[in-house]
Amino acid sequence: MARTPADLAGAEPDPPFEITFDGRPVPALPGQTIAAALWGAGILAWRTTRRTGRPRGAFCGIGQCFDCLATVNGERNRRACLTPARPGDTVTTQEGHGHDRLAV
């Protein structure tokens, strides 16, 4: 008889919900970060670098490296590895550092 960690802890998780990534629905579980939900859906990159346009996603997973920056609900530069997913969140690929009006 296989038992899951939720079974062992007697946890009753809330039902899954959806967020969207670049217009596509992505399932998320309560307590997941946006990065975890995107990873779970097979999405590994959600930002491009400023100069070369190379793809980036989560690297360190603890909010230190800033590779996981995403635009969440229209707000740029959100660290997807630290931002909890909420029902109805809209995540879009962020190009560069999110400050396209700055000449840096």
Q: For residue 27, tell me if it sits in a domain.
A: yes
10 Å CB burial of residue 62 (0-12, 13-18, 19+) is exposed
* Amino acid letter, residue 33: T
**Mean pLDDT value across residues 21-37:** 95
pTM higher than 0.85 for the full model? no
pLDDT in tens, 69-94: 999 999 999 999 999 999 999 999 98
**93 in Cβ contact with 69 (< 8 Å):** no
Q: For residue 25, tell me if it sits in a domain.
A: yes
10 Å CB burial of residue 72 (0-12, 13-18, 19+) is buried
Q: For residue 36, tell me if it sits in a domain.
A: yes
Q: Which residue segment(s) compose the domain that 56 sits in?
A: 14-95
Q: For residue 44, tell me if it sits in a domain.
A: yes
**56 in Cβ contact with 67 (< 8 Å):** yes
CATH of the domain at 56: 3.10.20.440
Output the pLDDT for position 66: 84
What does R_g of the chain's alpha carbons equal in angstroms? Answer: 15
- How many structural domains are present in the chain? 1
